């Protein structure tokens, strides 16, 4: 089927399905109510929403924060997999690459679990099988003895093989950083290459992905500055393909003598307006959390604006996926904070809506 943009894919059909799913998202009006609920009340509330199937299936084995986290994660995986399965043509290819982030997430989760000696159950709790590789494949990785066995098994999977030189870096450094950095760079290289910019909508989608790279690189840069690290080869820490922050630009910014100097140099970039208050808060508190939250809000605002411009394209689908993920993140944050007895006003500051 040809879309109005001239590329193969059932854009109109998938956009209509996603539009219906968007109406099921938890409204902003419900968040103040959630902040006043205890964990059992939140679980019952979710059981009356689009999370009903997962909450019902898991209720016999889990309760409290574990039930909420697992139920929302499994629902996210099911919804994203459904969207991918009823997509076709070029749309399917782009969404498959976009959802590859969850394959990368799951592999990194397994590697971390094996590296730190986590139990099978602990690793499984953080798995979100929303990408190409299903729970069966991920469970095979989890069942393996250690990091080396996982790396060996990945060699049989197209698209996830980690080169020998990266594995050698892992052995030399005795940290997971070389493996995780490679997987992050692999994801963005794959997804950016897949979006061909055959029309304005795809061009905006690619620009959004490049903005995600900017956000990731900016947070990496700020962590380096906050920790007082000035690496000899800063380019190794950054992902290529950003929209405003090219690697050479990031290398220049990494030479800032202090985080205050770095903040002053960020005033020239388009995202500064949306994060300037968070940057001031960071300077007062020393925490990067406000900046990370502000950048997430910046991305969501941008995706919503683009999705309205081209309603029969990949953009509203991507916008829904972002909002669905953010909803799950918000619910999980509320649940964890409730378990830690944080006050509603404190929790509210951690949410992105």
Residue that wins the pLDDT comparison between 40 and 353 = 40
Helix (H, G, I), strand (E, B) or coil at 88: coil
Under the banding of pLDDT at 50, 70 and 90, the label for residue 230 is confident
Does residue 84 surpass a pLDDT of 50? Answer: yes
Does residue 1 surpass a pLDDT of 80? Answer: no
In this prediction, what percent of the chain has a pLDDT beyond 90? 82
- Determine the average pLDDT of the residues in 226-248: 89
Nearest to 240 by CA among 251, 227, 255: 251
Whole-angstrom distance, CA of residue 132 vs CA of residue 101: 10
Does residue 44 surpass a pLDDT of 50? Answer: yes
Under the banding of pLDDT at 50, 70 and 90, the label for residue 231 is confident
Whole-angstrom distance, CA of residue 177 vs CA of residue 183: 10
- Least confident residue range of 227-236, 328-337, 344-353: 227-236
Whole-angstrom distance, CA of residue 262 vs CA of residue 193: 31
Helix (H, G, I), strand (E, B) or coil at 341: coil
- Determine the average pLDDT of the residues in 15-29: 95
Q: Provide the token pair at 47.
A: 């059981």
Whole-angstrom distance, CA of residue 202 vs CA of residue 77: 24
Q: What is the pLDDT of residues 96-121, one digit of tens each?
A: 999 999 999 999 999 999 999 999 99
Q: Are 159 and 97 in contact (CB under 8 A)?
A: no
Q: What is the pLDDT of residues 266-279, one digit of tens each?
A: 998 999 999 999 99
pLDDT for 6: 42
pLDDT for 298: 92
Under the banding of pLDDT at 50, 70 and 90, the label for residue 7 is low
- Determine the average pLDDT of the residues in 237-256: 94
Under the banding of pLDDT at 50, 70 and 90, the label for residue 227 is confident
Q: Note the pTM of the prediction, 2 decimals.
A: 0.91
pLDDT for 259: 87
Q: Measure the CA angle with vertex 62, ends 336 and 20; round to 5°.
A: 75
Residue that wins the pLDDT comparison between 177 and 308 = 177
Rounded to whole angstroms, what are the CA distances from 102 to 129, 209, 284, 303?
7, 15, 35, 19
Which positions ≥6 away from 223 have C-beta within 8 Å? 288
Q: What is the pLDDT of residues 186-208, one digit of tens each?
A: 999 999 999 999 899 999 999 99
Q: Provide the token pair at 319.
A: 């916008």
Rounded to whole angstroms, what are the CA distances from 281 to 105, 196, 265?
30, 39, 17
pLDDT for 89: 94
């Amino acid at each position: 089927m040809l879309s109005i943009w001239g590329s193969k894919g059932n854009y109109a059909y998938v956009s209509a399905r996603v539009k219906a799913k968007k109406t099921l998202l938890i409204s902003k009006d419900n968040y103040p109510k959630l902040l006043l609920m205890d964990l059992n009340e939140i679980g019952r509330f979710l059981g009356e929403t689009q999370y009903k199937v997962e909450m019902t299936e898991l209720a016999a084995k889990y309760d409290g924060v574990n039930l909420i986290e697992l139920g929302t994660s499994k629902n996210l995986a099911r919804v994203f997999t459904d969207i991918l399965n009823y997509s076709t043509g070029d749309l399917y290819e782009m969404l498959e690459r976009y959802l590859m982030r969850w394959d990368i997430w799951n592999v990194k989760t397994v590697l971390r679990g094996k590296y730190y000696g986590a139990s099978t159950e602990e690793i499984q709790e953080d798995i979100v099988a929303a990408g190409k590789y299903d729970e069966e494949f991920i469970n095979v990785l989890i069942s393996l003895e250690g990091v080396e066995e996982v790396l060996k098994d990945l060699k049989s999977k197209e698209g996830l093989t980690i080169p020998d030189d990266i594995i050698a870096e892992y052995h030399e450094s005795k940290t997971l950083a070389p493996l995780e950095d490679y997987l992050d760079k692999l994801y963005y290289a794959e997804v950016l290459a897949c979006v061909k910019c055959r029309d304005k909508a795809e061009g905006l989608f690619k620009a959004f992905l490049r903005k995600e790279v900017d956000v990731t690189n900016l947070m990496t840069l700020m962590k380096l500055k906050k920790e007082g690290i000035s690496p000899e080869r800063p380019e190794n820490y950054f992902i290529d393909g950003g929209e405003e922050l090219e690697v050479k630009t990031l290398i220049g910014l990494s030479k800032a003598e202090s985080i205050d100097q770095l903040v002053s140099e960020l005033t020239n970039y388009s995202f500064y307006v949306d994060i300037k208050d968070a940057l001031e808060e960071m300077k007062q508190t020393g925490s990067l959390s406000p900046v990370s939250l502000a950048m997430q809000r910046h991305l969501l605002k941008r995706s919503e604006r683009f999705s309205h411009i081209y309603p029969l394209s990949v953009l509203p689908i991507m916008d829904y996926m972002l909002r669905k993920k953010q909803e799950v993140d918000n619910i999980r944050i509320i649940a964890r904070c409730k378990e830690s007895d944080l006050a509603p006003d404190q929790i509210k500051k951690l949410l992105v809506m």
